[in-house]
Amino acid sequence: MTITDQLFALQDVAFGDFQAKLMPNISRNNIIGVRTPALRALARKIAKTDAAQEFIGQLPHRYFEENNLHAFIVAQTSDFDEAMRQTELFLPHIDNWATCDQFTPAAFKKHPDELLKAVRRWIESSHTYTVRFAIKMLMTFYLDDLFCNEYPQMVAAVKSDEYYVKMMIAWYFATALSKQYDAIVGYLTEHRLDAWCHNKTIQKAVESYRISDERKAELKKMKI
């Protein structure tokens, strides 16, 4: 049984219909309908097999779930250099927000300096989901102890009309407000984001349980 056959064995058609509504840019014919816990379990089961290594070498994939399984397999790679090599190969083939957002190689956490070099390249890419991934890496790994004022400046400098890039910019700044409020709020008071990202940042921040009611009240007053 091929890996694709194994994915079809886990198929939930109704769930596939639901997923298709969340990803209008992906054809329903390219969605099998497999729940994420089942995909992660399959990735854990096969990650170290020759079949899995052959599978991740077969880009591009046809199905959404093949891309997600690919992401989950690469995410388990413990060696940083290999995880980065596989990530560089995979990023150009990511074609939706869900695969992008669920892809977080574990090896990246212990190598922030090396990862940052790649992030600086990715964030200047012309490929929507490579840019989104770069911002996601800054949000995931560089908003706590490793925070530096340069990083939100990098995100604010991104100029794009792509919806999925703009949404990630807003998500980044809303998360940053919950963790580094004093360093970030100036991006709103000084109108350093475009109007859409500005307002979406405030919306997402107001929806966050990690921001106090007092600060939420302040943020609401900043809406353009």
pLDDT of 216 > 90? The answer is yes
Task: Give the burial string for 50-72 (b: 16+ CB within 10 Å, else e).
Answer: eebeebbeeeebebbbbbbbbbb
pLDDT of residue 47: 94
d(CA 206, CA 211): 7
Average pLDDT of 107-117?
A: 97
pLDDT of 93 > 90? The answer is yes
CA 46 and chain centroid, separation: 23
Confirm if 67 and 94 have CB atoms less than 8 A apart: yes
Q: How confident is the model at residue 1 (pLDDT cuts 50, 70, 90)?
A: confident
pLDDT of residue 63: 97
pLDDT of 135 > 90? The answer is yes
Within the chain, which residue ranges are assigned CATH 1.25.10.90? 111-224
DSSP of 110-134, one letter per residue? G-HHHHHHHHHHHTT-SSHHHHHHH
Question: If you ran DSSP here, which 8-state letter would residue 23 be given?
Answer: -
pLDDT over 90, % of the chain? 100
The token pair at 173 is: 């700044």
Q: How confident is the model at residue 164 (pLDDT cuts 50, 70, 90)?
A: very high
pLDDT of 169 > 90? The answer is yes
Question: If you ran DSSP here, which 8-state letter would residue 92 be given?
Answer: G
Average pLDDT score over the chain: 97
Cis previous bond, 24, omega within 30 = no
d(CA 177, CA 172): 9
Torsion of CA 98, 46, 60, 9, to 10 degrees: -70
Instruction: Find all residues with CB under 8 Å of 89, minimum gap 6, and list them.
Output: 59
pLDDT of 91 > 90? The answer is yes
The fold for domain 111-224 equals Leucine-rich Repeat Variant (1.25.10)
pLDDT of residue 6: 97
pLDDT tens sequence across 2-58: 999 999 999 999 999 999 999 999 999 999 999 999 999 999 999 999 999 999 999
Q: What angle (nearest 5°) sits at the alpha carbon of residue 218, between those of residues 216 and 222?
A: 110
pLDDT tens sequence across 78-90: 999 999 999 999 9
d(CA 44, CA 73): 7
pTM of this prediction?
0.96
Confirm if 55 and 70 have CB atoms less than 8 A apart: yes
